[in-house]
Amino acid sequence: MEKFINPIEILKQINLREDMVAVDFGSGSGGWAIPLAKQLEDGRVYAIDILEEPLSALRAKAKLNKILNIKTLLADVEKKVDILDESCDLVLMTNLLFQIEDKKKVLKEAQRVLKTDGILFIVDWKENPPIEIKEIVSFEDIKKIGEKTGLTFEKEFDAGKYHKAMVFTKNKA
């Protein structure tokens, strides 16, 4: 049976270093934050979600798996998050943008926390997902918004049967 989505395989599509500082916008219970933290052994992963319950589940999973490099933050990514400007090497957004009202605000916040040459990695639904969702993200619109906020589009690829991925880098100021 084909896996629904495989974060470990998909994360191989970007150049990760073990010492990176990453932030997972809309981390939920850690489906991506945990595999990412395992790859960033000497780094740190900030896992941000708007709900406490999934963050609590993530903390429990991390403790159970003896993963010590995840810090959870309760925050709304459509507002300013408690992470310093230009402090992250990677911002991860998976299955987030289809739920977000103001995509430009979220991309601007990602751009703010990214270091120059940092990576914004977006994974979201393709057309005809297996679940009912309010809005399919227009990857063309995201490219335009990203480029207006100081990000350079690098590549796009399939991330499984139901998902697509996009990679941006942050421009020099």
The CATH number of whichever domain residue 82 belongs to comes to: 3.40.50.150
Q: DSSP string covering 31-52, please? A: TTHHHHHHH-TTSEEEEEES-H
| 102 lies in some domain | no
| Per-residue model confidence (pLDDT) at position 37 | 97
- For the stretch 20-70, pLDDT in tens is 999 999 999 999 999 999 999 999 999 999 999 999 999 999 999 999 999
**What is the amino acid identity at position 165?**
A
| Per-residue model confidence (pLDDT) at position 1 | 34
Range of the domain at 40: 17-88+107-123
| 128 lies in some domain | no
| Per-residue model confidence (pLDDT) at position 136 | 87
| 26 lies in some domain | yes
| 168 lies in some domain | no
- Tokens 């040459």, residue located: 117
Position 130 confidence tier, pLDDT thresholds 50, 70, 90: confident
- For the stretch 86-119, pLDDT in tens is 999 999 999 999 999 899 999 999 999 999 999 9
- Tokens 């395989």, residue located: 9
| 82 lies in some domain | yes
| 167 lies in some domain | no
Report the C-alpha gap between 131 and 23 in whole angstroms.
Answer: 26
Q: For all residues of the chain together, what is the average pLDDT?
A: 93
Q: How many domains does the chain have?
A: 1
| 152 lies in some domain | no
Beta-strand pair 21-25/151-158: unpaired
| 159 lies in some domain | no
| Per-residue model confidence (pLDDT) at position 120 | 98
